[in-house]
Amino acid sequence: MIELRNLRKTYGHGPRAVRALDDVSISVPAGEIFGVVGRSGAGKSTLLRTVNVLERPDSGTVTLDGTLMTGLEGGALRQARRSVGMVFQHFNLLANRSIQQNVEFALEAARVPRGKRASQAAEMLDLVGLKDRGGAYPAQLSGGQKQRVGIARALAAKPRVLLSDEATSALDPETTESILDLIRSINRELKLTVLLITHEMDVVKRICDSAALMENGAIVEQGELVEVIRTPGSKLAAQLFPLAAPADDEGPTVIDITFAGGTADRPVIARLAREHELDVSILGATVERIAGTQAGRTRLALPVAGEAAAAVVADLRRQGLIVEYLKGGAA
């Protein structure tokens, strides 16, 4: 659905040039929610804006549903943009127009005949849970409600793709959840493909099917989340499971065990103590719901090193667990 190929973009010239996009390629299948995570300044925002060509890449191509977006200009580009909805961190609503008029503005931009705008806008407001609030002005709404209007506006022209620019970053945790749930439900109901950028890992965990990690304008890792968490050494997985780094004085061997899907509910540690007669200490553990499945990671300190530790790890791996050494051992 969304095909980004070898995108490059540099701002400025000479020694002060900033490479915002460094050979970025991403492919988002139809109906998927794809998250790009990274720190601010990593180039996420530029990347998102190349999709509807608000930013024109220096080289590379953007293809949406077979349409070469980077090949379009003027009226053709405007027309193509209408099939891509976009929501913004700071909502970007027209302050002096009512909620209803804000949504109607999108319909007017999309050349929907005047007579149909009111009913279509009302329909959209109903979809995002703001029925009967059409007459209110943005200043009278809470942050979460404003973002709902932003979503209604983005969806008004019935796009096939939704771009989300840190849509929940200005919201409190509870409101964030409700907005993410809304995005998830419209993704399913309207079969909408969603590309979102965020610096919050919780957003990825909660709604994304796939994710990419961006650093200094380049994608350093990407994949389906269910795969990512099974990948040893994955930076994305490390961020998905927030565990504190082990202290230096922990036992000779420290390992991370990742449980995903079917292995999540087995009594692994009890078995370890029983069969290997080891005093295992748990340094940290987390259970997350990632891409709709339960997944967890446990950090253990083993009182043994070398071959004894390797035997334990081999045994765990035979059980289908993903084991990584953090300290000691040769992976």
Partner 1 sequence: MIDYDSPDFWSDLFEVLLKGTLETLYMTGIATVITILVGLPLGILLVGTEKGAFLERSFGPVWVARTINRVVGFVVNVGRSVPFIILMIALIPLTRLIVGTFVGTTAAIVPLTIIAIPFFARMVEIAVNDVAPGLYETADSLGATKGLLIRRVLLTEGLPAILLGVSTTITSIINFSAMVGVVGGGGLGNVAVTYGFQRYSWIHIVFVVVILFAIVQIVQIVLTRIATRVSHRSSTAVLPKDAELTINPAQGVAT
| Distance separating alpha carbons of residues 64 and 183, to the nearest angstrom | 20
Per rule CB under 8 A, is residue 72 in the interface with partner 1? no
The distance of closest approach from Cβ of residue 137 to partner 1 in the complex, given in angstroms and rounded to an integer, is 4
Per rule CB under 8 A, is residue 133 in the interface with partner 1? no
What's 181-240 look like in SS3? HHHHHHHHHCCCEEEEEECCHHHHHHHCCEEEEEECCEEEEEEEHHHHCCCCCCHHHHHH
Per rule CB under 8 A, is residue 157 in the interface with partner 1? yes
Stretch that binds partner 1, among 89-97, 183-191, 197-205, 214-222 (CB under 8 A): 89-97
Helices (H), ranges, 110-209:
114-127, 143-156, 173-189, 201-207
> Strand pairing of 253-260 and 210-215?
unpaired
Task: Name which of 140 and 286 has its Cβ closer to partner 1.
Answer: 140
The distance of closest approach from Cβ of residue 77 to partner 1 in the complex, given in angstroms and rounded to an integer, is 8
Stretch that binds partner 1, among 9-17, 31-39, 102-110, 227-235 (CB under 8 A): 102-110
Per rule CB under 8 A, is residue 54 in the interface with partner 1? yes
Binding mask 256-295 for partner 1 (x = CB under 8 A): ----------------------------------------
Token digits of residue 276: 């290997």
Residue 80: φ, ψ to 5°: -65, -35
Choose, by CB under 8 A, the member of 3, 5, 109, 269 that binds partner 1: 109
Choose, by CB under 8 A, the member of 56, 78, 131, 271 that binds partner 1: 78
The distance of closest approach from Cβ of residue 25 to partner 1 in the complex, given in angstroms and rounded to an integer, is 23
The distance of closest approach from Cβ of residue 50 to partner 1 in the complex, given in angstroms and rounded to an integer, is 13
Per rule CB under 8 A, is residue 142 in the interface with partner 1? no
Per rule CB under 8 A, is residue 170 in the interface with partner 1? no
How distant, in Å, are the alpha carbons of 48, 120, 171, 225, 304 from that of 214? 12, 38, 23, 15, 37
Distance of CA 259 to the CA centre of its chain: 21
The residue assigned the tokens 């200043």 is 139
The distance of closest approach from Cβ of residue 82 to partner 1 in the complex, given in angstroms and rounded to an integer, is 4
Task: Name which of 136 and 285 has its Cβ closer to partner 1.
Answer: 136
Element (H, E) at 107: helix 99-109
Radius of gyration of the chain measured on its C-alpha atoms: 23
Choose, by CB under 8 A, the member of 22, 60, 72, 105 that binds partner 1: 105
In terms of residues, how long is the chain? 331
Q: Please count the other Cβ atoms lying within 10 Å of the Cβ belonging to residue 23.
A: 14
The distance of closest approach from Cβ of residue 156 to partner 1 in the complex, given in angstroms and rounded to an integer, is 8
Per rule CB under 8 A, is residue 90 in the interface with partner 1? yes
Task: Name which of 87 and 278 has its Cβ closer to partner 1.
Answer: 87
What angle do helix axes 114-127 and 99-109 make, rounded to 10 degrees? 120
Which residues contact partner 1 (rule: CB under 8 A)? 52, 54, 78-82, 84-86, 88, 90, 92, 94-97, 105-106, 108-110, 137-140, 153, 157, 163
